[in-house]
């Protein structure tokens, strides 16, 4: 396999992994909300907490994903196996 194919497969795998992490965090948060007792005196609180759980799952998955990629990049030389996605403007390089 060449670097471009490795890059495409890594991006697809990373996207699926990030979505799975987000789904697990959201499901856990919604499960927690379902078992917490909410009285009928404040019906809007549960809806607001569902929004907070949803956005918390997005933010949490980003930080977990970032930590996983950082740990992988410490062990694996990414430049050796993957094509660079973004190039530094100050850095030269070929225009493919």
pLDDT for 3 equals 77
φ/ψ bin of 4: left (φ > 0), alpha (ψ from -120 to 50), beta (otherwise): alpha
pTM of the model: 0.74
pLDDT for 96 equals 47
pLDDT for 69 equals 86
- Residue-wise pLDDT for 49-69, tens only, equals 999 999 999 999 999 999 998
pLDDT for 11 equals 85
pLDDT for 88 equals 62
- Quick one: average pLDDT of 34-57? 83
More confident residue, 87 or 38: 38
């Amino acid at each position: 396999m060449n670097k471009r194919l490795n890059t495409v497969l890594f991006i697809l795998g990373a996207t699926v992994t990030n979505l799975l992490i987000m789904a697990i965090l959201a499901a856990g948060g919604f499960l927690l909300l379902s078992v917490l007792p909410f009285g009928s005196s404040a019906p809007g609180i549960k809806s607001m907490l569902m929004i907070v759980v949803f956005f918390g799952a997005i933010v949490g998955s980003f930080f977990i994903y970032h930590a996983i990629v950082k740990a992988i990049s410490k062990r694996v030389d990414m430049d050796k196996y993957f094509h660079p996605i973004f190039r530094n403007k100050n850095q030269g390089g070929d225009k493919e």
